[in-house]
Chain A
Amino acid sequence: MRPRFELLEPALIDRIVDEALQLLMEPGIKVEEPEAVALLRGAGAVIDGDRARIPEAAVRRALDTVPRQFSLYNRAGVEAVRYGSGNVHFDPGSSGVSVLDPETLEARHSQAADLQRIVRVADSLGSYDAVSTSVVCHDIPTEIGDLYRLFVCLMNSGKPIVTGAFSPRGSGIMLDLLAIDAGGHAALAEKPRAVFDVCPSPPLTWSEFACRNIIDLGRAHVPSEMVSMPLAGVAAPITLVACIVQHAAECLAGIVLNQLAQPGAPIVWGGAPAIVDMRTGSTPMGAIETAMIDAGYAAVGKSLGLPTHAYLGATDSKVIDAQAGLETGMTALVGALAGIDMISGAGMLDFLLAQSPEKLVIDAEAIGMAQRLLRGISTPQTTLATGSFAAAGLEGRFLELPETRALFKHEQFLPTKIIDRTSRRAWLDAGGLDAFGRARVRVDELVARPVSAPDPEIAAALAECVRSAGAPFGLSADGVLPGV
């Protein structure tokens, strides 16, 4: 039995969908892009200025064509992530603007070399099913920031990639980069390696850029992942259930747009909502209520047969401390038990502003434990216990039974040395380090491993594409490309 966590009664899910459909008509959705408006009008929406009132029939048609499952592939073309399969996947959080300096504990502006370090760490850890464009590279011209991040991922990892574009132009070149990696645009459409995050704006708004993205990605048959982010009490009503309704309305509108552009295009019911802290006005990602909104909307998405995503496993702490550990572990567990297909957020601190490779290696242990929980309690032997006692007798030397060795790795998640289970003496002998200290050592070990680099011809073609895209914006035509 797979452990599941349910926050919403089926009847409440129906009410949520019903109210979301009502919101699509009244007040309607703000749509800021002409082609999107035209598509919606063609599908029967009533257009009133920049407001589109989308009828239920259009939504139902779109839901009929959305794939219930789709896969992301690794560099070798092997299926590595299956959205909608019931398996829970994890990837590092995206688009931090700084990294936690492990020496000074300051958050400093992230650069391409930082992204490279993060990607290599995520690439080497089995807990991460995908890498992500985890931080902005401040040493790269802004105009090519989005595609450069993807380039760093492609050069340093063979795993699927969770990414996103900063501009319509960027998204076009990013698709070119992915096509180079895949061996052509047709190969890319058949075996996508990346999913693109697309963010509606709360409340109930699809900006020009977001519309453009979700239409273009659909037409290219590239998977898109909606990251809807109701902020409870500020950019959304205060109640958790209302945030779930708003999330549903924003995502349903996105699905309509996406499926109008290309019926059958893969798209994910995702998000990064948060409550708003009423003392500070901040949007805590580590709050339990934030995780509850996620688990709630994921249940709604699943009821509609859609692949799901959420932002969990992050913390609002500025350093890697007890708050970081408890917020990360608790929210990752909620997401895992909610059966969310892709959970982003690992490695992130400070309201998703900062990334940390050290946190990434610690979070990998929390993810390992969460995945272990999801495997549940199994019955790998013919008897539950009597057979073991028949073998060991009352003397009970179970440690010497072959079954013990054969089964313990299945029964137990084996943490790395990040999780200290040694005696005090052994711990002191190993330097008496806390989890952060141990993580610093481990990051150095992981980045010293051989890089999962593409074939030299592919690498050269990727670099050429990036140089030519970057030339108008000051990227040197023959200089060193940082982070690769």
Chain B
Amino acid sequence: MHEELFEAMRQSVIDGDTAAASSLAEQVLATGVPPIDAIDLGFVPGLSHVGKLFGEGELFLPDMMLAARAMQKALAILEPELKRLATARVVVGRVVMGTVKGDIHEIGKNLVGMMLATSGFEVTDLGVDVAPERFVEAAREHNADIVGVSALLTTTMAGQRTVVEALAAAGLRPQTRVIVGGAPASAAWAAEIGADGYSEDAIGAVALARQLMGAA
């Protein structure tokens, strides 16, 4: 019934057009379209489409980033109304993430964060050069289901192990899952350090997180 509006939402995300996505979200508030429908039938399919084409090599990192950002902006506008209607989206899981201490690379982490945030996860991004204690603190504070630890350098990837150990020492394991990512990481490395998973890319990370939450 609001197919045209939903189509415009999909397109705004596909185009990475933040202004259009925001204005469509405002329109939802003004016209009384259920915001949950706007998200599930409008914005999310747009992002899924971009993600699919990215996986096929037809779209590129900047397309993904802008699409995720447009979606994020629209969600921020819809969020208060969702809360008011008490129809807040089901939170698939709570994620705390950051790049390990001594490492300031964040492109991959940001992309994963945005993809998770737009896929129903509540994401707390701690930024870069994050100490193990900070991961522990934030995991506790936000009642995290998953801690995502990024590292780009072979010299800093050992920090991923330190985070796993710190969480264990704080008594947060195994209920708090740990996922690792970054160029030097691998599934074997994740297993070796006792983490719960690894993904090659942002789309895989969402699938992994959903699977860990039993939402696959």
Using CB atoms and an 8 Å cutoff, list the residues of chain A in contact with chain B: 397, 399-400, 402, 404-405, 408, 414, 417, 423, 425-426
Contacts and interface: CB of A to CB of B under 8 A. Distances in A.
A400 B66 contact: yes
Contacts of A417: 57
Given A404-B65, A405-B16, 9 more contacts: A399-B61, A399-B62, A399-B65, A399-B111, A402-B66, A404-B62, A414-B60, A423-B183, A425-B186
Contact of B200 (A400, A402, A425): A425
Interface string B48-67: 00000000010011110110
Nearest to B187: A425
B69 interface: yes
B60 A408 contact: yes
B162 interface: no
Contacts of A399: 61-62, 65, 107, 110-111
B186 A400 contact: no
Contact of B62 (A405, A414, A425, A426): A405
Interface in B60-115: 60-63, 65-66, 69, 107, 110-111
Contacts of A402: 16, 66
A408 B63 CA distance: 11
Identify whether the interface residues of B are mostly helix, strand, loop, or mixed.
helix
A404 B64 CA distance: 12
A392 to B, nearest CB: 12
Nearest to A402: B66
Nearest to B16: A405
12 contacts: A399-B107, A399-B110, A400-B66, A404-B62, A404-B65, A405-B16, A405-B65, A405-B66, A408-B60, A414-B60, A423-B183, A423-B200
A404 B111 CA distance: 15
A405 B186 CA distance: 29
A402 B200 CA distance: 25
Nearest to A401: B62
Contacts of A414: 60
A400 B69 contact: yes
Given A397-B110, A399-B107, A417-B57, A408 B62 contact: yes
Interface residues of B, number: 15
Nearest to B66: A405
Contacts of B61: 399
Contacts of A400: 65-66, 69, 110
Output the residue of B63, B65, B107, B200 with the most chain A CB within 10 A. B65
A400 B62 CA distance: 6
Interface string B138-156: 0000000000000000000
Contacts of B186: 425
Nearest to A417: B57
Contacts, number: 30
Contacts of B16: 402, 405
A405 B200 contact: no
A426 B200 contact: yes
Contacts of B111: 399
Output the residue of A400, A408, A423 with the most chain B CB within 10 A. A400
A410 to B, nearest CB: 12
Contacts of A425: 186, 200
Interface in B2-31: 16
Contacts of B69: 400
B63 A405 contact: yes
A426 B204 CA distance: 12
B156 to A, nearest CB: 18
A404 B66 CA distance: 10
B111 to A, nearest CB: 8
B64 to A, nearest CB: 9
A397 B108 CA distance: 11
A395 to B, nearest CB: 9
B49 to A, nearest CB: 16
A472 to B, nearest CB: 52
A12 B185 CA distance: 58
Sorted nearest first, the 5 A-B pairs with minimum C-beta distance are: A405-B62, A404-B62, A400-B65, A399-B65, A405-B66
B6 to A, nearest CB: 24
A425 B69 CA distance: 28
A239 B163 CA distance: 67
A414 B62 CA distance: 14
Contacts of B66: 400, 402, 405
A423 B69 CA distance: 26
Nearest to B64: A399
B62 to A, nearest CB: 4
B66 to A, nearest CB: 6
A426 B199 CA distance: 11
A250 B200 CA distance: 59
A65 B60 CA distance: 51
A400 B110 CA distance: 10
Nearest to B18: A402
A469 B56 CA distance: 48
Output the residue of B62, B110, B200 with the most chain A CB within 10 A. B62
A69 B66 CA distance: 45
B181 to A, nearest CB: 11
A407 to B, nearest CB: 9
Contacts of B110: 397, 399-400
A19 to B, nearest CB: 53
B60 to A, nearest CB: 7
A131 B100 CA distance: 53
Nearest to B110: A397
A417 B61 CA distance: 16
B75 to A, nearest CB: 16
Nearest to A406: B62
B180 to A, nearest CB: 14
Contacts of B63: 405
A421 to B, nearest CB: 11
A299 B194 CA distance: 64
Contacts of A408: 60, 62
A136 B111 CA distance: 53
Nearest to B69: A400
